[in-house]
Amino acid sequence: MVNDNPSAREPNTILSVDDTPDKLELLSVVLRKGGYRVLTAASGQEGLEIGKREIPDLIISDVSMPEMDGIEFCRLIRADESLRSIPIMLVSALCKDTETLARGLAAGADEYLEVPCDPGRVIAKVARLIERKRTDEPLAILASIVENSEEAIIGKTLDGKITSWNYGAERIYGFASQEALGQSIYSLIIPADRRAETEGVLKAISRGLRVNRFQTKRLRKDGQLIDVSVTISPIKDAQGRLTGASAIGRDITEARLAEEERCRLIAELQHALAEVRTLRGIVPICMHCKQIRNDEGSWTQLELYIREHTHAEFSHGICGRCAKSLYPDIYSEPNPGNG
């Protein structure tokens, strides 16, 4: 209950809107005796101005007012971002008029108060509306976070029927909410070769277990297979009974492709490094025949040794000095007199 200990908390603020001064004053007295702080406005326009300035915990408005009636006032409250979450109670002597009731509820009213009404009933209704706002507000915030998350958050029964489908699920899997709700998760996004995996996960959930992030495949509406990381948790009701499962999925296709590319580049680099062989240290070479002593201690030709220890290949030719030494008749020095 609200206001159960006025000394322990600030009184809730109620904005009362009515163009009839006597009715406005009477309701204000009842509310103040109930422990509430009361603000008053004599018209819908004045009520909007005070509401934006004070942000009350509850708005009570008469239905029948000139210029702007309570139903139009209610619509404007619901259209204002700073006021739309405030509960609204419409006051009327015509509450038995179903058309009036329907118009008010369609405009966003939360409750109707029929006048004349017993003060105790007024306070009870007011307390219930304010308490509902106090308890529902955190749930509304949480619901907004879930709905607008970039990650796919899906609720489903234990046999796989989809019960909730957020914006992230629409973005990742391509199905609109109205296309997904009520459908089987198996026929919508689970590839045929992953059905047994999903059934096993739901069996674990039915035992009350939580399945932390595991990587798997999912099917988009366009037929594309994507890689996802999924965490699945049990859903329980207020009595602690298991009613379903929630799956939080993240598309990791791009991350997986980037990791594969990184691994490919590393493998290519390692292969290239393995192909590079460099001669190091002291290599024994015969000063006369120029043969090299190999790792086994035997002597081998220089070009064979280099070929075995590097990727170098040889093409054979003859230098000018050797040509003159071996073939003097062919490679003799030209006669200066012969030009």
Kindly report the three-state secondary structure assignment for every residue of the chain.
CCCCCCCCCCCCEEEEECCCHHHHHHHHHHHHHCCCEEEEECCHHHHHHHHHHHCCCEEEEECCCCCCCHHHHHHHHHHCCCCCCCCEEEEECCCCCHHHHHHHHHHCCCEEEECCCCHHHHHHHHHHHHHHHHHHHHHHHHHHHHHCCCCEEEEECCCCEEEEECHHHHHHHCCCHHHHCCCEHHHHCCCHHHHHHHHHHHHHHHCCCCEEEEEEEEECCCCCEEEEEEEEEEEECCCCCEEEEEEEEEECHHHHHHHHHHHHHHHHHHHHHHHCCCCCCCCCECCCCCCEECCCCCEECHHHHHHHHCCCCCCCCCCHHHHHHHCCCCCCCCCHHHC
Q: Distance between CA 322 and CA 328 in Å, rounded? A: 10
Residue that the structure tokens 């009613």 belong to: 243
- pTM for the complete prediction? 0.46
Among 234, 229, 93, 125, CA closest to 172: 229
pLDDT at 277: 60
Q: Which two tokens stand for residue 288?
A: 């006369």
**CATH of 152-255 given 3.40.640.10, 3.30.450.20, 3.40.50.720, 1.20.1250.30:** 3.30.450.20
Q: What is the pLDDT along the chain (339 residues), one digit of tens a residue?
A: 334 444 445 889 999 999 999 989 999 999 999 999 999 999 999 999 999 999 999 999 998 898 899 999 999 999 998 898 899 999 887 655 667 778 888 888 888 887 777 888 889 889 888 888 777 666 666 666 777 788 899 999 988 899 999 989 999 999 998 899 999 999 999 999 999 998 888 888 888 788 888 899 999 999 999 999 999 988 887 677 888 888 999 999 988 888 888 899 888 888 777 766 666 667 788 887 888 887 788 888 877 877 777 777 777 778 878 878 887 877 665 544 444
pLDDT at 207: 83
Give how far the C-alpha of residue 285 lies from the chain's centroid of Cα atoms, to the nearest Å. 70
Angle, alpha carbons 38-42-47 (nearest 5°): 65
pLDDT at 161: 92
**Are 67 and 140 contacting, i.e. CB atoms less than 8 angstroms apart?**
no
Question: What φ, ψ does residue 2 adopt, rounded to 5°?
Answer: -85, 160
**Are 61 and 41 contacting, i.e. CB atoms less than 8 angstroms apart?**
no
List where CATH 3.30.450.20 sits in the chain.
Answer: 152-255
Q: Distance between CA 125 and CA 38 in Å, rounded? A: 16
**Are 77 and 48 contacting, i.e. CB atoms less than 8 angstroms apart?**
yes
Q: Distance between CA 12 and CA 18 in Å, rounded? A: 20
pLDDT at 95: 54
Q: Compute the radius of gyration of the chain from its Cα atoms.
A: 42
Determine whether domain 13-146 maps to CATH 3.40.50.2300. yes
Distances (CA, A) of 299 to 178, 189, 306, 311: 83, 70, 13, 20
List where CATH 3.40.50.2300 sits in the chain.
Answer: 13-146
